[in-house]
Chains A and B, each alone.
Chain A
C-alpha cells in the first residue's frame, strides 16, 4: 500500500443545508514522509441532463441528477501519480417556514368509484375503505394511514403503495410531464381478512424524494397510488397527490 488519501466529513450522515459550514479532515496515510506539491479541495455541483429514451426532446428525471461532490487532489512530482479522492455529500434545502398542518383524507373504493372502466358489469363487487393521516407529508416521517377491506367477492392478491414522482418541465412549445415510480411497497399479501384494518405505512426513500417543488419552468411533485390486485387479473388504482416538505 502506497500513500492514500481519505476525506472524512464531520457529519456522519453527510447532510448539510445552505449556509452551513462543511467541515472535516483529509487524512493522508503513508509509510513514511510524503512529498507533494500542494493539496487542493474542490466542491462540485452538477446537474446531469440526459435525453429521455422514451420521448424525443425531453430530459429525463431532474431530481436524481443533482449531485454535490467534494474532491481533494494531491499534486505530486512527475514520477508519482497525483492522488484524488472524492466524497459525495447531500444538500438539503432549508426547512420551510410556516406551520405544518396535517390534511387527512378518507377514501372509499368500490366498482362505482372507479373511472376508466370498460365493462363495469364484469367487475367483481368489493368495498374498500380507508384513510391517509395526511397528504401533507414531512419528508422524514413515514406516510401513514389505514385500509379496511370491508368486502370483496374476488380473492385479493396483493395491496401495494406506489410512490410516483411527477416532473413537469415547461417551455415554449408546451410542457413535458414525466412520471416515475420510485418505490413500491406491498402492504397486504394474499387474501386478507375482511373487516380488519391494515396499516398503510411507507418510509420515503432518502435518495429519491425531495420536498415538492414548484417553479415557473419546472415542477417536481409526488403522488401515491394505492394499488389493489384482485384475482384473477383486476388492477384497481386510487391516486392521491402528496405534498412533501421538510420542517
Chain B
C-alpha cells in the first residue's frame, strides 16, 4: 500500500459539544434522584410514596433509623445493647432475635454483662507461672500406703476391682518428674486429647479414668504458685468431659423420628438414656478420693436434667457442702470457683448455692492463717504476700457470681461480713474486683479507709489500690470526693518501692486522673511516674504499662496543643528507649492525632513534637522493615503532613515541606505526598494571585517547581515518577513556568525507555504495557497545549516522544504500539485545528503561536503520514501472521479514528476507510453488532451540516451477513 496523505477534519468543538450534550432538566424538590441522600421521614400515618421510588419514605413510628448493618449484630455488642435499652422499638426488634429468645426461655439470668470464665482464663495462665519443676503423677503409689491400714480387710478381688477406676491404664505407672511449665501444659493438653480419643473409640471407662487422674492433680499443692494455672488447665479437661457425657446421653434420647428439644423434661427421656446416666452417677459416687469425686460429679452436673427436674437444685447444695471436707483452703476455694462456674452455666437461677459458697468460704477464711498452711509455705519457701494473691482468681470468680445482679442489701451484707474478719485485705480485693464498679465507686472513701487499715504483712496493698483504681476507671465516684480520692490514693502509690508494683498501680490510676482532672494533675502524675521509673532503668521492664499510660492520656486529650503543653509528656516519651516500643507508641500518638485533629494547625509546639514523633517512626525503617509496616508509617506521616498549614504564609509552608523532605527521605509515599503538597501550594498561590503572578510570587512558584523537579528523581517507582513529572509539568504550565514545564516533560520522555516490561504490583509481576498506554494517552492530552519552544523545531516534544515510542522494545504479538500511534494521530488532528479544544489560562498554545501557519500544518501532516504508514504496515504484518482477529479489530479501530478525525472528503482517505471496512470484515471474525452500530452512526452523522459526503460513504460500506 502506498503512503496515504492525512487530512484532518476541521472541528467546531463548541457546536459539537452543544449538539451532543444532554438537555439539563431542573429537578423539583421531592423528585426521585439516584444521588439524592436517603431520607427518613418521621410520620405516624403512611405517606403516599412515589411509585418506583427507591428513596425510602419510612412509615415506621420509630424515631431512629434502622441501620441494616446493626441487624447483623445479635445484640451482644455493647453499643447496640446501649441503644436497645434507650429505644424500646429497637429493643423489641432485638428481642426477635432467636438467640435472645432462647436466653429468655432459659430463664437465664446471666446476660452479656457477665464477664465469662473464658475471658479470665488467659489472664490467669499468663499471670500464675513458675520456673520450678513440676510433676504429674498419674499413679497413686503414695496414696496406697495411706489407705494401707484400712485395706487389710479387703479381699484381693474386690480391691483390684475398685482400683481399676483409679488406674489410668492397666499396669501402667505414669509419674513424670522435672517438667517445665511448658512441658506440663503440653502433657495436660495430651491428656485432653487422649480423653477425646478414648471417648471417640468408645472406651468410656478409660475416659473416666483420665478425668479422675487429672482431677487428682488438683489436690497436689506442690509448686503452689502454679496452682491457679493448673486449675485452669485441668478444668478445661473436666469441661470437655462434662460436654461429652451430656452429648452422649442426649443423643441416646433421639428416637428415630423425634429429636429431644433443648428444654426437655425428664419424662421425655427414655429408659436407656436414664439408665446410662444413672450408671455414670453411680460410678462417680464410688470414686474413693474426695477431690476427684467432687470435680467429676460437678463436671456432669448438667446430666441431672435427664433424671429429674429437681436434680440440679438438690445436687448443687450437696456439692457445696462437700467442699467443706477439703482441708487445704486454696484447693477448697478453687473447688468452689469450679462449682460456681458450672452452677452459673447450668442453673444460673440457683443463687442460693452461690451465696452459700461465699459464706462457707468466709467461715473457713481463718484457715489461711492456720498452722498447716504456714508450715506448707515455709516448706515451699513462699512468702505470704505472694501466697495470698493466688486466691484472687477463684475468689474473684465466686464473688462475681454471687454479686452479679445481686440486690444492694446482699452486697452490703457481704461487705460487712468481710469487714468483720481479721486481715481482710484479700477479701477486700475480691470485693473490689467482683462487685459492680458503681457500688465500689460510690463508696470509694470507705474503701480507701479500709485499705489503709489493712495489715501490712499480708496481701500487698498496691494490689488493693490497683483494684480500686480499676473500678474508678469504670464508674465515677461522687463529685465532691474526687480530688480527695486521688490524693489519698496517690499518697500511697508514690511510696511504693518496687517499680513493678508501682507501675502496675499507677497505670490504672492514670485513667481516673485523665478522666476527672486537668492537665496539671496529669502532669504531676506523669512526673511521678518518670521519677519512679527512671532509677536503674526500671522502665525497661515495664514497657507495656508505660505504653498503656500513654494510650490512656492521649485517649483523653484529643487537643494536641493541650497535650503537648503537659510538660512531662515528652520526657515521658523519652522513657521508651527500646526502638520497637518507641515506634509503637509514636504510631499510637499519630493515630489519635489523625483521628481527632479537625483543623489544620501551625502550632509550633505541636509541629515540633509531632515532627519528632514522625522522625522517630521514619528512622525505624531499615532494610528489614516489612512493606505493610512501611505503608502504615507512611500513612501516619502523610496524615500529619496534610494537617500542617501556615495559612497564607506560603513560604513558611514551603520551608516546612523542605524540612519534611530531609526528614522523611526513606519513605517513598511520604515524598510523593510532599510533591503533591508542594504542587498544591503552587496552585494555591496562583489562586490567590488570580493567575497574575507578581515577581515575588513567580519566584516562589518557581521554587515550588524546582522542589518537585529535584525530588522526583529520588523516587523508585517508575510510574510514580512518570505521573509526577507529568503532573508537576502541568502545574508548572499553569503557573506560566514554560521552560520548567518543558524540563518536566523532557524528563518524562527520557524516562519512558526505562519502563520495564513487567512491574511489581502488590507483590505480583504484571505486564506494564497497559499502564504505559494509560500514561501516554494522558501525556498526549497535555502535549496538545504545550507551546513549542522557540529554539527547538516544530512539535519537538511530540517528535521526541514518537522516537522513544519507536525505539521502545514492545512486547511481541502486541498491538499496543499501534494503539499509541492511533492516539498520536488523534493528538495531531487536534493540533491542526484552528482553535484547540482547551487551553491553559495565560499560556499561548500552538494554535495562537502559529495561527494556522501552513508550514506548521504541513509539518503536522507529514508526521501524520509517517504514523499512518506505521499503522498500515503493522496491519499488513498481521495478515501474514494469521492473527486475523487482531487485524480485524485493529482495522475497525483505525477506521473509527479516520471517521472521527479525518476529512473524508479527501478521496484517498475515503478509499482507505472503505478498504479498512472490508479488511475488518474479510475474515469473518469481526463483531457484527459493532459494524451495524458504526454504520448507523455514519448515517446519523451524514445528516449533520457539512457531513453530506458521509451518505455516499455509507453506501460503499456493505454489511457482511453471516452465513
Contacts and interface: CB of A to CB of B under 8 A. Distances in A.
Given A160-B150, A203-B286, A196 B318 contact: no
A61 interface: yes
A177 B478 CA distance: 78
B61 interface: no
Contacts of B275: 12-13
Main secondary structure of the interface of B (DSSP, over half): helix
B380 interface: no
A189 B151 CA distance: 18
A214 to B, nearest CB: 21
A184 B288 contact: yes
B153 A180 contact: yes
A227 interface: yes
B324 A193 contact: yes
Interface stretch (B29-37, B110-118, B362-370, B670-678): B362-370
Interface stretch (A32-40, A97-105, A124-132, A151-159): A151-159
B271 A192 contact: no
A196 B372 contact: no
A123 to B, nearest CB: 16
B146 A158 contact: yes
A7 interface: no
A185 B288 contact: yes
B219 A189 contact: yes
Among B290, B321, B370, the one with the most A-chain Cβ atoms within 10 Å of its Cβ is B290
A66 B808 CA distance: 103
B282 interface: yes
A31 interface: no
A205 B327 contact: no
A150 interface: no
Contact of B274 (A12, A61, A199, A235): A12
Given A164-B153, A181-B150, A186-B289, A192 B282 contact: no
Contact of A197 (B278, B324, B371): B324
A54 B228 CA distance: 48
Interface in A210-229: 227, 229
A245 interface: no
Interface in A37-89: 53, 60-61
Contacts of A60: 155
A189 B335 CA distance: 13
A187 B325 CA distance: 6
B324 A198 contact: yes
B801 to A, nearest CB: 84
A157 B146 contact: yes
B290 A189 contact: yes
B326 interface: yes
A246 B909 CA distance: 118
B147 interface: yes
Contacts of B624: none
Nearest to B273: A12
A208 B321 CA distance: 27
Interface string A142-176: 10000000000001111110101000000000000
Contacts, number: 111
B884 interface: no
Given A185-B288, A196-B364, A199-B318, A191 B370 contact: yes
Contacts of B156: 53
A199 B324 contact: yes
Contacts of A203: 281-282, 285-286
Contact of A190 (B151, B270, B282, B327): B327
Among B155, B288, B318, B321, the one with the most A-chain Cβ atoms within 10 Å of its Cβ is B155
A197 B321 CA distance: 9
Contacts of B162: 183-184
A188 interface: yes
B326 A190 contact: yes
B151 A181 contact: yes
A206 interface: yes
Contacts of A206: 282
A11 interface: yes
A157 to B, nearest CB: 7
Contacts of A198: 321, 324-325
A114 interface: no
B154 interface: yes
Interface in B147-169: 147, 149-151, 153-156, 158, 162
Among A13, A142, A186, A205, the one with the most B-chain Cβ atoms within 10 Å of its Cβ is A186
Interface string B125-159: 00000000000000000000011011101111010
A188 B290 contact: yes
B282 A188 contact: no
B272 interface: yes
Interface string B263-287: 0000000111011001001100110
A180 B158 contact: yes
Contacts of B344: none
30 contacts: A12-B271, A12-B272, A12-B274, A12-B275, A13-B275, A159-B325, A180-B154, A180-B155, A184-B288, A185-B288, A186-B290, A188-B290, A189-B289, A189-B291, A189-B327, A191-B367, A191-B370, A191-B372, A192-B326, A193-B327, A193-B364, A196-B363, A196-B364, A197-B324, A203-B282, A203-B286, A205-B286, A227-B150, A229-B146, A235-B150
Interface of B: 146-147, 149-151, 153-156, 158, 162, 219, 270-272, 274-275, 278, 281-282, 285-286, 288-291, 293, 318, 321-322, 324-328, 331, 360, 363-364, 366-367, 370-372
Given A184-B147, A186-B325, A203-B282, 4 more contacts: A190-B372, A191-B327, A199-B325, A203-B281
Closest 8 CB pairs of A and B: A190-B327, A12-B271, A188-B325, A203-B285, A12-B275, A181-B154, A191-B372, A186-B290
